[in-house]
Amino acid sequence: MNETVFSIVFYVLAAITVVAAAAVVWVRNIFHAALFLVLTFVGVAALYITLNADFLAAVQVLIYAGAVAVLLIFAIMLTQNARMGNRSNNQRGPAILISVLVLIAVGWTVWNTVWPAAGEEPTVPTTAPIAQLLFNQYVLPFEVASVLLLVAMIGAIILARED
């Protein structure tokens, strides 16, 4: 892809993602905040495509923009009554100060570090190589992750059940 086109695409996607993320903490209505969160997830999925991570982009759309978003909206529907908005507590000033300090520290550090860049072409498509890695080299973490999901599912059912 042409360098200039790629830069424009990156900046547009980054702007959409950051604006949507800011809207999540800015808007008053928590339901609107959840919808902006879905927009952020889709923006991140598009950024994964610019990073040649096609499988992860699909997984991001399925898990975050699909499953987690539905779960959040269900929880909002089940727990909100009219007086509950998306308001801030009385720590707003310190919270702004801490997050700006973290942004300056981390941003300055990552921007001024010279990362080792391998000039090789990335592997595309990534689905088959990821499957090879998951079922050979990383098969133990894969199994542990499936046990974790099972435990989380049983735990969520037990916690949310009427008794």
Partner 1 sequence: MTITVNHYLVLSAILFSIGLYGVLSKRNAIAILMCVELMLNAVNVAMVAFSRYVVPTILTGQIFALFIMTVAAAEAAVGLAIIISIYRNRETVNVDEFDLMKW
Q: Report residue 57 as tokens.
A: 């982009």
**Per CB under 8 A, does 61 bind partner 1?**
no
d(CA 108, CA 159): 43
Smallest distance, partner 1 to C-beta of residue 84, A: 6
Assess 129 for contact with partner 1 (CB under 8 A): yes
Q: Which residues contact 92 (CB under 8 A, 6 or more apart)?
A: none
Q: Is 51 in the site for partner 1 (CB under 8 A)?
A: yes
Select from 123, 135, 139, 143 the one that contacts partner 1 (CB under 8 A).
123
In the chain, what is the straight-line distance between the N-terminal and C-terminal CA atoms, in Å? Answer: 58
Contact between 44 and partner 1 per CB under 8 A: yes
Under DSSP, is residue 55 helix (H, G, I), strand (E, B) or coil?
A: helix
Smallest distance, Å, CB 82 to partner 1? 13
Residue 139 interacts with partner 1 (CB under 8 A)?
Answer: no
Interface pick for partner 1 out of 16, 32, 55, 58 (rule CB under 8 A): 55
User: 35 with 109: CB under 8 angstroms?
Assistant: no
